[in-house]
Amino acid sequence: MEQKEIASREDIELLVNSFYDKVKADDLIGFIFNDIAKVDWPHHLPIMYDFWESLLLDTGKYGRNAMEPHFELNKKIQLQPAHFGRWLQLFEATISEHFTGEKAELAVTRARSIKGIMSLKMEKINNPEM
C-alpha cells in the first residue's frame, strides 16, 4: 500500500477508520470497545476525526474533555497498561501502513503521549496505594 502525507480531513478519516477497524477486531482490546463501551461508531468516528484533525492539522474542531469518557469506561472495566500498549501498537501500525512524513511522525508522537498520560492516570485510579 502506498504511503502518503497526512494533509486533509480525508486523510484523517482514512487513519481513524483504518485504526478502529483494527481495534474492533483485536483480541485484547476489541471487546472493550464492542462489548463494554458498546461504542456507537457512527456517532464516535466523527468525534475522533475532529480530535485527530485538531491535533495534526490545527483545526480546533475538537473541544471536549478526552479523559472523561475513559474515566467512565474505567468504572466498568479497569483499563490496564497492556490495553493502552495494544492501542498504541495498533495506531502505530496504521500510521506506518498508510502514511509518511512530518504529520505521520507527529501523530505517533501524540499517540505515545496520550497512551502515557491515560495509562498513568488509570493506573493511579486503579491502584491508589501506589
Tell me what pLDDT residue 97 has.
97
pTM: 0.95
Q: pLDDT class for 129, splitting at 50, 70, 90? A: confident
C-alpha cell of residue 128: 491508589
Tell me the domain boundaries of the chain. 9-126
CATH number 1.10.3720.10 given to 9-126 = no
Q: Which residue(s) pair with 4 in the sheet?
A: 99
Give pLDDT tens digits for 52-81.
Answer: 999 999 999 998 999 999 999 999 999 999
DSSP string covering 9-62 = HHHHHHHHHHHHHHHHH-TTTHHIIIIIS---HHHHHHHHHHHHHHHHH-----
| 17-41 mean pLDDT | 98
